[in-house]
Every structure is written in structure tokens, then in C-alpha cells.
Amino acid sequence: MKPERPDTSADRPSLPTSDFERAVGELVDKAHDVLHTQERLRDLLSATRAIAEDLDLEVVLRRIIQAAVNLVGSRYGALGVIGPDGMLEQFIHVGIDDDLGRTIGHLPTGLGVLGALTAEARPVRLKHLADDPRSVGFPAHHPPMDSFLGVPIQVRGEVFGNLYLTDRSGGPFSDEDEELLLALAAAAGVAISNARLFGDTQRRQRWSLASAEVASALLDEDGADPLGLIATSILRLTNAAVVALIVRTGSGAFATEGAWGADAAAYAGRVFSAGTTPAAQVISSGNPVVSAGLPHPGAPDGAASTGSAMTVPLSRAGGVDAALLVARPPGALRFDDLDLDMITDFASQASVALELRGARAARERVALLEDRARIARDLHDNVIQRLFGAGLALNGMDLDALPEPARARIDGVSDLLDEAVAEIRTSVFSLRSARRARPSARHRLLDVVSEVAGSFPTSPRIVFEGDVDGVIVDDLLDDTEAVVREGLANAVRHAHATTVIVSVGVTAGAIEVRISDDGPGPGVSPPARSSGTANLAARAASHGGSSSLDPGAEGGSVLTWQVPR
């Protein structure tokens, strides 16, 4: 084994460092600095290339924040997208896994230091984040963070969002880190701009294709309902939760005439007052309205709200009397100007679809009237004349020559022929006479619901099933309107209900009105006036039907009024 050499460095005398040695040391240090700077510039170049390799905006944003974390060696990073109100609309983060993110709860909205960076639009670098007076602390379960560096990202002179980095591995962030991050933010601005332009181009292309499909459907008389196709296209292109057609009723209230999407059930059959729907303002002004959110119609007193929503007017020959409501789910991205432009174009097509639907209905009514006229003409020209001829033939017989029983039978047949002629004449007159135009059953019942909508915390819903307008007419319509009015009045006065659903259905054998509420129920609440329930029973009995008030399956009460068809 080789013996170890003794360390004699401590025994050597300390000699002064020469100028040459100092110069060599400085050169070595500078060479190390140059190599380090070259390495970081190479990292910056790689990061810039990485964020420019894709044109999908979501992918680009995630690559930007990952590149920033790698570039300066931080543990956590995030990119916050600023919304129209100056608060954070999106918050993409790295370093915190999804499980921990769900445990923390809601993401930052742009307060404290993050808000200061947004307001000042210039870099913010802190050695200790908690020491800054603008710091508002962290929510529960949030990991501790110390050093901080944030820089804005600008796109065409507009602040798009901010880069946030915390906990640098080698100590506080340096001037060089800030310069590198500013350079990366500049490149990120160009990449985001290109991705947004590419995304807008793709979106316009999708809207154009959908518009062509709708235009084709409008020209196809036997195709699917073009209004439903328009709503389906809007749902697909905007990721909306609901598309609803809001129309102004004869009483001045506003009702949902059609709803599509995952949240359609909450809007179907709703009646709104002018103060509870933006459709009133849109129909009045003729200008679209974009909002961050609207009160959810299924939640009383605005306890819940939708995501970003747009309401656009539908202009028709008689003026603006309808609007198209498009709402995204809570937490979704807000609608932008491109969405508004595209949906406004679709609204013009929806206006045409409504006109076409009215024209087709009018054409069907004309065809029905033509059939009625033809039937009346045939009855008058053929059937009545033949019956009249048969009666004359009987009257021309020598009845005195016939036995008494035969004479009596012939007289009876002659009377029956006279009655048949009279009845057919009445039918012909009814078919030919133009009846005075009256509001349809749907509109009359919608008006009844709209009159009392303000008496409930949540506007009542009314749902129609079957051929309501074709079957519920004349006296039956008057009685049905009275039943709905009395049932809603009882729900307000006696049940103190907050939610009421009116269902009017026509089946092959019966007409049924069901009014359900969430009150304490008929066994708990004070009984309704006997005159009211007696009147409902009497109206049902006049048509051979029945009326009952029973407890609901899940509480509350259910008024059922049913008459045979």
C-alpha cells in the first residue's frame, strides 16, 4: 500500500497574489459568466421555439408558463389571463398537482400582489412575498411561497395577462432572471397573437359552415325545424348551456317560447317580468346585451347565476318582439366580440326562421280553410240536393193509397230528411263563415301566468303538451283559463308557494291541467275557499270531467283538473 503524502500546504509561507494571477482569475470568472449567460440564452431560444411550435391557444399558454419555470428555475409558475373587468379570467398553473388544486378551491381572481401587477403593467420582483404590504396571504392548504417575480404579457399593445413565478431554487430572483422573463414575455405575446388569429380564423370557418347549413335548411320546406337547427349550431359553436327564445306576450310580460341545451328544462315555460330579463331591454332598444352572468331562472331570488350570457334581438316584419338568449355554464370563458358578431348573424337567420314558421302555419291554415270551403261546397251542391230530391220524391207519392203503418214510416223518414238538410245547412254555414280571430290557448294561458308572475319569488313555469291550440277552444278554453287563474291564485294566497309548475296537456282521450306547488300541502295549509274549489269542480262536471286537490309526491300540493276530449 502506497504511503500517504503529508499535507505541507499549511507549512508553506503565504505569498502575495500577483497582478497576473488576479487577471487570470478574473478572466476565468468572466469566462464562466459568459458560458452561463450563453447557456441561459440558449435556454431562452429553446423556450421561444417551444412556444411558437403550436397554434392552439390553450397549448401555447401552457407551454409559455412551463418554459418560464424552466428558464429561471422556479418551483411554481402560473399564467393569468385578464378579463374585460380587469380581474383574472383564466389561471393556468404548474407545480401544484390537480388534487391539491381541488383541495385549495377557487383560483386567484387578481387581488393583492397579483392585482398590483395587473394595475401597474410592469415587472414586480420581491425577495420575500409575505413582506410586501400588498400581499393578502394564501388560502387554506396552499403551499408556502417566498420569492416572487411577475411580468406582464402584452399583445398588440394590450395587456393580455401576467406571468407569475415563485420560489427560485438558487435564491431570490435576479436582474438577469427579470430580463430573461421579459424577453420570454415579448415572444409569448407574439405567439399568443398568432394563436388567437388562427383560432379566430377557425372559429369563423366553423360559423360559416354552420350558417350555410342553416341557409340550406331555411330553403328546404320539408326539412327539420330551422330554428332548432340554429339553436343546436349555436350550442355546438359556443359551448353554451342553453339557447332560449324569449317572446313578448300580449300582456307585456316575456315568456320562453323555446329552449335548447343542457339547461333547457330550467327555461322551458318560464314567464318573466320586464325587470327580470334582459330581453325587455334588448327588445325595446334593438341592441344586443352581453353580461358576465344572469340570475338562474330555476333559483329563487337570484341564488344562482349563469356564466357569460348574450341576448340579441330578433327583428321581424312587425318589429322587434323576440330575443335570443345564449348563456354559458358558470365558470366558463366569457363571450368576446367575435362571438357577438357571429350570434348576431345567426339571430338574423333566426328571424327569418320565425317568419318562415309563421308563413308555413298560415299556409296550413289556408289549406285547412280551402278544405273547409270544398267540403261546404260539396255538401251544398251534392249532398243537400240529393237529400232534397229524396224528400221531394217521398212527398210526391200517393200516401193516401198506402196503409197507415207505411204512411207513418214515410212521414218519419221525410222528417228525418228535413232535419238532416237543416243540420247540413248549419254545418255549411259554420264552415263558410269567417270566425272572429281570437288569441290561441297558449297565448291566453301565458298571459294568465305572466299576470301573477310577480307574486312568486320564482316565476311560475307553464308547460304545454299535445295540440293545445287545436283542441282547447271556445267554452273549453274559457274554463281552462279560469282553472289556471284560480289554481295560481290559491297557490299565492293559501299555499304560500315559491315554485309553481302549470302543465296543460292534450292526449287522445282527455284534456288535463295540473298545477303543482311546493307549499306546505293541502293537509297543512289553510283550506282554499270552498267556492273556488267548487267552481273548479262545477266547470269540470259541465264537460263530464273531474277536479281534485291532493298532496304532492314530494310535498306541496297538486291540483288536477281533467275533462274528456
Locate the DSSP E strands across 188-328: 242-248, 254-260, 271-272, 289-291, 309-316, 319-327
- Inform me whether the pLDDT recorded for 14 exceeds 80: no
Instruction: Assess if residue 295 is contained within a domain.
Output: yes
pLDDT of residue 561: 93
pLDDT of residue 469: 83
Angle at 440 between CA 435 and CA 444, to 5 degrees: 125
> Model-level pTM greater than 0.75?
no
Phi, psi of 472 (to 5 degrees): -85, 95
- Inform me whether the pLDDT recorded for 379 exceeds 70: no
Instruction: Assess if residue 19 is contained within a domain.
Output: no
User: Would you say the C-alpha torsion 28, 32, 37, 39 has a positive or negative sign?
Assistant: positive
What would you report as the CA-atom Rg of the chain, rounded to the nearest whole angstrom?
39
User: At which of 374, 401, 432 does a domain end?
Assistant: 432
332 in helix, strand or coil? coil
Strand ranges across the sheet with 88-94: 88-94, 74-82, 158-168, 148-155, 124-126
- What is the residue whose three cell numbers read 407545480? 95
| First-to-final CA distance of the chain | 116
Task: Looking at the structure, tell me whether residues 391 and 243 fall in a common domain.
Answer: no
**Residues ≥6 apart with Cβ < 8 Å to 309:** 278, 290, 291, 293, 294, 325, 326, 327, 328, 335
What are 398-440's pLDDT values in tens digits? 666 777 777 777 777 777 767 776 666 666 665 555 444 457 7
Region 340-344: what's the mean pLDDT?
84
Record the cell numbers describing residue 5, joined without a space: 503524502
- Inform me whether the pLDDT recorded for 560 exceeds 90: yes
Task: Looking at the structure, tell me whether residues 169 and 287 fall in a common domain.
Answer: no
pLDDT of residue 125: 87
Could you tell me the CATH number of the domain that includes residue 84? 3.30.450.40
Task: Looking at the structure, tell me whether residues 346 and 368 fall in a common domain.
Answer: no
Region 310-334: what's the mean pLDDT?
82
Q: In Å, how far are 22, 70, 243, 354 from 15, measured between CA atoms?
A: 13, 44, 87, 99
The Cα–Cα gap between 171 and 74 comes to 10
Number of domains the chain is built from? 4
Task: Looking at the structure, tell me whether residues 143 and 78 fall in a common domain.
Answer: yes
In the chain, pLDDT over 70 holds for what percent of residues? 71
Region 202-216: what's the mean pLDDT?
79
The Cα–Cα gap between 346 and 354 comes to 12
Report the half-sphere exposure of 9 (CA within 13 A, side-chain side): 1
Task: Looking at the structure, tell me whether residues 146 and 291 fall in a common domain.
Answer: no
**201-210, 215-224, 285-294, range with the lowest pLDDT:** 215-224
Strand partners, 254: 248, 272
Highest mean pLDDT among 165-179, 350-364, 365-379: 165-179
Task: Looking at the structure, tell me whether residues 338 and 396 fall in a common domain.
Answer: no
User: At which of 294, 324, 352 does a domain end?
Assistant: 352
pLDDT band at residue 475 under the 50/70/90 scheme: confident
Task: Looking at the structure, tell me whether residues 120 and 229 fall in a common domain.
Answer: no
Instruction: Characterize the bridge pairing of strands 124-126 and 148-155.
Output: antiparallel
Instruction: Assess if residue 11 is contained within a domain.
Output: no
pLDDT of residue 563: 93
Residues spanned by the domain of 151: 30-199
Task: Looking at the structure, tell me whether residues 195 and 51 fall in a common domain.
Answer: yes
**71-75, 272-276, 309-313, range with the lowest pLDDT:** 272-276
Locate the DSSP E strands across 379-523: 461-465, 500-506, 510-517
Instruction: Assess if residue 304 is contained within a domain.
Output: yes
Phi, psi of 557 (to 5 degrees): -140, 160
pLDDT higher at 364 or 40:
364
pLDDT higher at 435 or 463:
463
The answer to whether the beta carbons of residues 368 and 374 sit under 8 Å apart is: no
pLDDT higher at 208 or 378:
208
Task: Looking at the structure, tell me whether residues 384 and 324 fall in a common domain.
Answer: no
The answer to whether the beta carbons of residues 264 and 290 sit under 8 Å apart is: no
The answer to whether the beta carbons of residues 249 and 446 sit under 8 Å apart is: yes
**How remote is the C-alpha of 273 from its chain's centroid?**
19
Could you tell me the CATH number of the domain that includes residue 553? 3.30.565.10
Angle at 222 between CA 217 and CA 224, to 5 degrees: 50
pLDDT higher at 271 or 222:
271
The Cα–Cα gap between 344 and 311 comes to 9
Task: Looking at the structure, tell me whether residues 52 and 179 fall in a common domain.
Answer: yes
Region 285-303: what's the mean pLDDT?
79
